[in-house]
Every structure is written in C-alpha cells, then in structure tokens.
Amino acid sequence: MNWFLQRSFGRSPSAQVGLDKPDKSDNQAAAGFTLTEVIVVVVLISVLAAIAAPSWVALLNRQRLGNATNDVLQALRQAQDEAIRTRYPQQVTLNTGANPTINVLSEVRRIGQGSVGMTVTSTAATTITFGITGGPIAGPQDITPATNLPIVITLSVPATGGVRRCVVIETLLGAMRTANQGENVCS
C-alpha cells in the first residue's frame, strides 16, 4: 500500500494525512524583523509625532475656542429670545474668573472645556440685561437703552494670550455677531 501511495501521488502515506512536520530551519531565517529595522521604524514614528504634535495642539485650541464662543453666543441669544417671548427683561451674568461661567435663565453654564479665558470690554457689562424688545438695557427695572455699546466678550485659548475670538453686542436692537482676532472690535 505504501508503495502504491508513493508511486501514485509521489508522497509517503504520512504526508497524505498531514503527519509530516515541516523543517523549521528553512523558515526560521525569514521570520521576524531585525533590530535595525525595528529601530528605524521607531525613529520614523517619533519624528512624525514630533512634527504633528504642535499642529494637533493648535487644532484642539481652535476647537475649544469655537465651542466656547458658540456657548456664549447661544446663551446670550437664549436670554434675548426669552425676554422677547415673555415680555420681561432677562439678565445674563458673566463670571470672568479662572473658570469662566455664564448665568442665564437661572442656569449656570461653564464656558469651554480646558483653559479658556473670558474678558468683557465695557463699563459694568458683566451683567447684561435684555429688554422686551431684545435690545440691551441699563438694568432689569430700567427701560433705558444701554449706552455702553458695543459690548465685547473676548474669549481666548489658552486663557493668557493665545488665540482670541469675540462675541459682540453691537446695536440698541441687540444685534450680535462673532469677530475673529485681528478685527477692529476684537483686538
């Protein structure tokens, strides 16, 4: 029978059923990586990471700044809309401390995530009151239009220095817009 299998298929019977073990000495030289190859790959990955890291940090800072700007603008618009809807003045209080917050409609919201700085440029504008027409007024019991326009809320990432973006309340009707660093109102 063995003779028949060898003659018919050119193999021994044990090879037909997978019992022969391959010789490891032939494959051992080609398996794995040399130390030099591994070192070259590690150095290349390190160089690429060192090149990409500053860009990644700048991207994260721009994202934080955009989110913080949107948070402030949304809170101001929400208070403005509520003042128009209820026909009752609404206040927004800005806390410009180390962890800036904004208090709108009896809800305190943290501004941004991470090191976001906030400053308000105007006389006594850390509390902004929107009247029943949606424009900023002097106070909740006073219907006199605010005279300290424009009110500029400057956000920066990181908190000291860094990239700046502003939310500006420009007109007596309460028109709001954002401004980027370098524009006249956001310098």
- In this predicted structure, what is the pLDDT of residue 111? 85
- Position 90 in a domain: yes
- In this predicted structure, what is the pLDDT of residue 162? 79
Angle at CA of residue 103, ends 97 and 107, nearest 5° = 130
- In this predicted structure, what is the pLDDT of residue 43? 94
- Position 23 in a domain: no
- Position 72 in a domain: yes
- Position 89 in a domain: yes
The amino acid occupying position 96 is T
φ, ψ (nearest 5 deg) of residue 180:
-95, 160
- Position 59 in a domain: yes
- Position 4 in a domain: no
- In this predicted structure, what is the pLDDT of residue 52? 82
Domain hosting 131: range is 42-186
- In this predicted structure, what is the pLDDT of residue 137? 87
Pick the closest to residue 90 from 121, 133, 124 (CA basis). Answer: 133
- In this predicted structure, what is the pLDDT of residue 78? 94
Q: What Cα–Cα distance (Å) separates residue 92 from each residue in 78, 108, 116, 173, 175?
A: 10, 10, 19, 16, 16
- Position 51 in a domain: yes
- In this predicted structure, what is the pLDDT of residue 126? 84
- In this predicted structure, what is the pLDDT of residue 44? 94
Please, are residues 7 and 13 in contact by the beta-carbon 8 Å criterion?
no
- Position 37 in a domain: no
- Tens place of pLDDT for every residue, the chain, 187 residues? 555 555 555 555 555 555 555 555 555 556 788 999 999 999 999 999 888 888 888 888 888 888 889 999 999 999 999 999 999 999 999 888 878 888 998 899 888 766 788 888 875 568 888 998 888 988 777 777 777 788 898 888 887 777 889 999 988 888 999 998 888 888 7
Tell me which DSSP letter residue 39 carries. Answer: H
**Domains: count for the chain:** 1
Neighbouring CB atoms inside 10 A of 168's CB total 21
CATH number of residue 128's parent domain: 3.55.40.10
Sequence-separated (6 or more) residues with CB below 8 Å from residue 5: 11, 12, 13, 16
H or E element that contains 51: helix 35-86
pTM: 0.70
